[in-house]
Amino acid sequence: MGIKSDKIWLDGEFVDFEDANVHILTHTLHYGLGAFEGIRCYQREDGKSAIFRLSEHIRRLIESCKICTIDVPFTQEQIERACIETVKVNGFEDCYLRPLVFLGHGEMGLSATSNKVRVAVIAWKWGAYLGDEGLEKGIRAKVSSFNRHHVNSSMVKGKINGQYVNSILAKREVMAAGYDEAIMLDTDGYISEASGENIFIVYRNRLFTTPIGSSILGGITRDTIVTLAKERGISIIEQRFTRDMLYTADEIFMVGTAAEITPVRELDERTIGDGTVGPVTKALQAAYFDQVKGSSTDHPEWLAIVE
Ligand code: PMP
């Protein structure tokens, strides 16, 4: 099925997929100043479709724009509604949603300020980002030679288009070496995150994740897992940790909207734990899937029902 849909929401109205085009002088295409989101809509056990944590994603989109000094010409509520309508108009029961804010054509150069701010919402069918087998059995990861941005080189809390060059270089590097995903260190050499996921480890029976005030993107899945873990009596230590702690961890898993909860079975040629999916990963993965597409009624505030 690929990334095809019938309609794309562009600047306030629906256009046909083939007509959702931009000019070659589109500013963001040249310099990368823009912001985007990645959101999933799931069909739940009761048959209803729900977009998971829609308002948190759109809030992050608007905050990313604020970081970039871009004034978004739509309200949070309007963009949320556009996401719901995009699922409906395309007749999807489950899909991935890609809201995008970018600067259109007009002025060129870095000093441009008059370009129209354009907003799109695109939907497509997207299966398991790191593969079904990866979700079930775990993936093979490698620490990349590329560091995650320094916190004052790029604005790491923003999901900003141009910043993804860093993630893509890391991802391409490790994929060329035969691995599934890249783990990036921060500029001090501590674990930061994967190319598109935050990282959790179980180390000496305690669950760790990197702190929000570090170089990571503040992942919404990360926040979901922290909440679900605490509700199950699993306390979380949010602090920086080192690469060798990963090598000797009992469990490692990566979390993100696209990758969901993906275990890591091997890192830099070392088997993690006994190479199978560990009990904490399994429990939190099950809790996550029950929350997003099962029958859990624990967090109705996280579900934007498509209706
Ligand atoms: N880190 C990076 C660099 C990402 O691109 C993503 C995906 N948006 C994440 C972490 C996970 O964020 P979320 O759980 O909000 O999808």
Is it true that 7-124 and 132-293 share their CATH fold? no
The best mutation among 60, 63, 159, 217 to test binding of ligand 1, ranked by most ligand atoms within 8 Å of the C-beta, falls on 217
Q: Which residues pair with 15 in a beta bridge?
A: 8
The best mutation among 214, 221, 262, 302 to test binding of ligand 1, ranked by most ligand atoms within 8 Å of the C-beta, falls on 221
Distance 218 CA to ligand 1 centre (A): 7
Question: What's the pLDDT tens digit per position in 131-145?
Answer: 999 999 999 999 999
Identify the residue whose C-alpha is closest to ligand 1 atom 6.
196
Torsion (CA) 267, 158, 34, 12 in degrees, nearest 10? 110
Q: Measured over all CA atoms, what is the biggest interatomic distance in the chain, rounded to whole angstroms?
A: 57
Spot the catalytic one: 7, 125, 142, 159. 159
For the domain made up of 7-124, give the CATH fold: D-amino Acid Aminotransferase; Chain A, domain 1 (3.30.470)
Distance 157 CA to ligand 1 centre (A): 10
Boundaries of every domain in the chain: 7-124, 132-293
ipTM surpassing 0.90, yes or no?
yes
Question: What's the pLDDT tens digit per position in 19-61?
Answer: 999 999 999 999 999 999 999 999 999 999 999 999 999 999 9
Q: Which residue has the tokens 């309508």?
A: 85
Whether residue 159 lies in the annotated active site: yes
CATH class name, domain 132-293 = alpha beta
pTM of the model: 0.97
Distance 91 CA to ligand 1 centre (A): 26
CB 43 within 8 A of CB 49: yes
Structure confidence at residue 1 as a pLDDT band (50, 70, 90): low
